[in-house]
Amino acid sequence: MRKIHKVCVVGAGLMGKQIALNAALHGYLVMLNDSLPEAVGKAETWADEYLKGRVAKGKLTEEAAAQAKKNLFFTIDLEMAARDADLVIEAIIEEQSAKEALFRKLNELAPKDAILATNSSFMVSSLFAGCVDDPARLANLHYFNPALVMKLNEVVQGPHTSKETVDALMDFARNTGKDPVWVRREIDGFIANRIVRAVKNEACYLLEEGIATAQEIDTAVEKGLNYPMGPFRLMDLTGIDLSYLASKRVQDETGVKQPGFEAIKAKYEAGEWGRKTGKGWYDYTDQK
Ligand SMILES: NC(=O)c1ccc[n+]([C@@H]2O[C@H](COP(=O)([O-])OP(=O)(O)OC[C@H]3O[C@@H](n4cnc5c(N)ncnc54)[C@H](O)[C@@H]3O)[C@@H](O)[C@H]2O)c1
Q: What pLDDT, on a 0 to 100 scale, did the predictor assign at position 238?
A: 85
> How far does the centroid of ligand 1 lie from the alpha carbon of residue 5, in Å?
23
Contacts 24+ apart (CB under 8 A), 244-252: 244/268, 246/197, 247/201, 249/122, 250/188
C-alpha 143 to ligand 1 mean position (Å): 12
pLDDT of amino acid 91: 98
Phi-psi region of 249 (alpha: psi -120 to 50; beta: other; left: phi over 0): alpha
pLDDT at 102: 98
Q: Are 67 and 60 in contact (CB under 8 A)?
A: no
Domain residue spans of the chain: 6-183, 192-277
Q: 6-183: CATH homologous superfamily?
A: NAD(P)-binding Rossmann-like Domain (3.40.50.720)
Active-site residue flag, 121: yes
| Residue 220, pLDDT score | 98
Other Cβ atoms within 10 Å of 189 Cβ, number: 15
CA distances, 155 to each of 23, 51, 142, 165, 197 (Å): 16, 28, 6, 10, 19
Helices (H), ranges, 57-144: 62-71, 78-82, 96-109
Q: How far is the CA of 95 from the centre of ligand 1 (A)?
A: 9
The CATH topology of domain 192-277 is: N-(1-d-carboxylethyl)-l-norvaline Dehydrogenase; domain 2 (1.10.1040)
Per-residue pLDDT of 122-168, as tens digits, reads 899 999 999 999 999 999 999 998 999 999 999 999 999 999 999 99
Q: What is the pLDDT of residue 250?
A: 84
Name residues of the chain where pLDDT drops below 50: none
- The gap from C-alpha 9 to its chain's centroid, in whole angstroms, comes to 13
**This model's pTM is above 0.85:** yes
Q: Relative to the CA of 15, which ligand 1 atom is closest?
A: 16
The pLDDT value given to residue 288:
58
Return the pLDDT at 84.
97
Q: Which of 18, 89, 93 to mutate to test the pocket of ligand 1 (most atoms within 8 A of CB)?
A: 93
In this structure, the residues whose C-beta lies within 6 A of any atom of ligand 1 are 10-16, 33-36, 39, 91-94, 98, 102, 119-122, 143, 145
What is the 167 CA–ligand 1 centroid distance (Å)?
A: 25
Spatial distance between the Cα atoms of 206 and 212, rounded to a whole number of angstroms: 7
Catalytic residue among 100, 193, 202, 216: 193
